[in-house]
Amino acid sequence: MRALILSDIHANLEALEAVLADAQARGGFDTIWCLGDTVGYGPDPGACIDRIREFDLVAVTGNHDCAAIGLIDASDFNETAKIAATWTAGQLDDGQREFLTALPMVSVQEPFTLVHGSLRDPIVEYLLDRQSASGTFALMETSYCLVGHSHIPFLCRDVEEDPDFIDFTEDEKFVLGDDRWIINPGGVGQPRDRDSRPSYAICDIENKVIGRHRVIYDIAKTQGKMRAASLPGHLIDRLDHGL
Ligand code: ZN
């Protein structure tokens, strides 16, 4: 089975469509595993939810998904994120709200665990260093854990309880094998690793082989929709820079 692993779509429909088309061209997929923050920041929250639901889908919730339905208070968000969260909340229909409300924090799909932030703190903690990686390795009951939230792609291997971060190089196949791994596929709708191209992964589950890919999309089209929706300029500009 091939799983298309998406995180942080952030209501960017053009980025999502480009990723879906690219994944189809690379041999397709049987299911989508979505690591949260499907909405927030971008101009098409409802359409992005509806689009991923057209496929066989396993999804977990993210902090922006929770904020959009009032499950968490957006007061911890920075000013632009707060404005976007309030705007997003007003865009969703009942079915889309129900979908977000029903999302779990953690989902186990052997041999993977899916979570937005970390297993220590599923929607808050950014897993980006050895200390936070150790915290999640200690709680992992499967061999591999998929995370998002930081929008920064990486592979992290548990080497004798000492997390070792390695580059999740684009277009390279990684055999996960018998090691324990934490994996971030990067962000679809708002990449933050100084590369504006959406980032995603495809995993061959049986063979435990994973690859990360990037694709070009129509950034200006997404930005035009954001301008029309009067979303904050900072959120519009950052898409150009992958920040
Ligand atoms: Zn996010």
> Which residue ranges form the domains of the chain, and what is each CATH number?
2-238 (3.60.21.10)
3-class secondary structure, 193: coil
What's the CA-to-centroid distance between 1 and ligand 1, angstroms?
27
pLDDT value of position 162 = 87
Cα(242) to ligand 1 centroid in Å equals 13
Question: Which residue numbers in the chain have pLDDT < 70?
Answer: none
What confidence score (pLDDT) does residue 189 get? Answer: 98
**How high is the pLDDT of residue 116?**
98
Distance CA(219)–CA(164), nearest Å, equals: 34
In the reported structure, the alpha carbon of residue 160 is separated from the centroid of ligand 1 by a whole-number distance in angstroms of: 30
pLDDT of residue 192: 95
Helix (H) or strand (E) holding 221: helix 219-228
Distance 205 CA to ligand 1 centre (A): 25
| C-alpha 189 – ligand 1 centre gap (Å) | 9
Relative to beta strand 154-159, strand 162-166 is: antiparallel
CA of 108 to the centre of ligand 1 (A): 21
pLDDT (0 to 100) of residue 210: 98
Residue 10 three-state SS: coil
pLDDT value at residue 75: 76
Q: How far is it, in rounded angstroms, from Cα 133 to Cα 121?
A: 12
3-state secondary structure of 165: strand
pLDDT for res 150? 97
Residues 213 and 26 sit within 8 Å (Cβ to Cβ): yes
- For residue 150, report the distance from its CA to the centre of ligand 1, in Å: 6
Residue with tokens 């799909």: 109
The reported pLDDT for the residue numbered 167 is 97
